[in-house]
Structure 1
Amino acid sequence: MQSLNRYAPYFLGVLRIVTALIFIAHGTQKLFGFPVLPPNGSLPPAFTMYWYAGVLELVGGLLVLFGFQTRIAAFVLSGQMAFAYWMGHAPKSFYPVANGGDAAILYCFVFLYLVFAGAGAFAIDKDSRA
């Protein structure tokens, strides 16, 4: 199993890229109705909390995708997902599977991991290349 350690930076990069691509789709959904409209069926008005969430998801997701200022962007996005969970999901039910917040929890902790691990391979950030 030790021989797998040499691939860790590459798979950290893959984790970062895949997470960012899926996360960006949440931002484009809120801001542009793409690939589908938000669950309520309409785009949020500009400068509302939901709109700001979309901006963070799009811009922060792009920063994480390209591995530029990854630690800072991931820190902000981790906080956003914690906020989203406690404000939007937790009041509905104690159980994440029942309140629909399991994705928010996973995003929160993946982004928190990126704060400490860095961007991994395939990143613009110089301190995190494999």
Structure 2
Amino acid sequence: MDQTFSKFQPAALSLFRFITGLLLFQYGVAKILKFPAGTPFEKVELFSLIGAAGSIELILGGLLMIGLWSRIVAFILSGEMAFAYFIGHFPRGFFPILNNGTAAILFCFACLYLATSGGGPYSVDAKMGKKD
């Protein structure tokens, strides 16, 4: 069973990197570009803490999707998600299920994993021959 699944690990890593970047990118689009309508981020100002987070998510989420500078980008995003949790969610309570911090924790550790594992074979980094 291990051999069957392990041969898909490199492609799964690239897919995981892309989807993680896409999900972070969508938060940046919602905060900065106000799309789609009806999100809780419609009143976010660009020069605010949440606006800065949205800018980071928009730019670095895009870089993560294509796999450019994957390790450093993922490391920065991991730190941003840790800040998001401790600044925005933790003060509302200890339990992530009650303070709505589950996504921030998952993004933090997903990006931390990507920072240690790299972007996978289907990335701009791999095409450029970078070893980070």
So what's the TM-score if we normalise by structure 1?
0.91
Q: Which residue of 1 aligns with 2:59?
A: 59
Matched, 1:12 2:13: yes
CA-atom RMSD, angstroms?
1.7
Q: Which residue of 2 aligns with 1:3?
A: 4
Structure 2's unaligned 5+ residue stretches are: none
* Aligned counterparts of 1:59 and 1:40: Cα–Cα separation in 2: 17
Q: Which residue of 2 aligns with 1:101?
A: 101
What is the CA-CA distance between 1:45 and the residue it aligns to? 2.2
Aligned residue for 2:8, secondary structure, equals helix
What is the CA-CA distance between 1:38 and the residue it aligns to? 4.1
**Structure 1 residues 80 and 89, CA, compared in 2 at 3 Å: closer, same or farther?**
same
Q: Which residue of 2 aligns with 1:27?
A: 28
The code of the aligned residue for 2:31 comes to K
* Aligned counterparts of 2:110 and 2:130: Cα–Cα separation in 1: 16
Aligned residue for 1:36, secondary structure, equals coil
* Aligned counterparts of 1:38 and 1:100: Cα–Cα separation in 2: 15
Q: Which residue of 1 aligns with 2:118?
A: 118
What is the CA-CA distance between 1:128 and the residue it aligns to? 7.1
Runs of 4+ residues deviating >6 angstroms? none
What is the CA-CA distance between 1:37 and the residue it aligns to? 4.5
- Check the 8 A contact 2:69/2:125 in 1, yes or no: yes
* Aligned counterparts of 2:79 and 2:41: Cα–Cα separation in 1: 24
Q: Which residue of 1 aligns with 2:85?
A: 85
The code of the aligned residue for 1:8 comes to Q
Q: Which residue of 1 aligns with 2:75?
A: 75
Aligned residue for 1:125, secondary structure, equals helix
- Check the 8 A contact 1:63/1:73 in 2, yes or no: yes
So what's the TM-score if we normalise by structure 2?
0.90
**Structure 1 residues 37 and 105, CA, compared in 2 at 3 Å: closer, same or farther?**
same
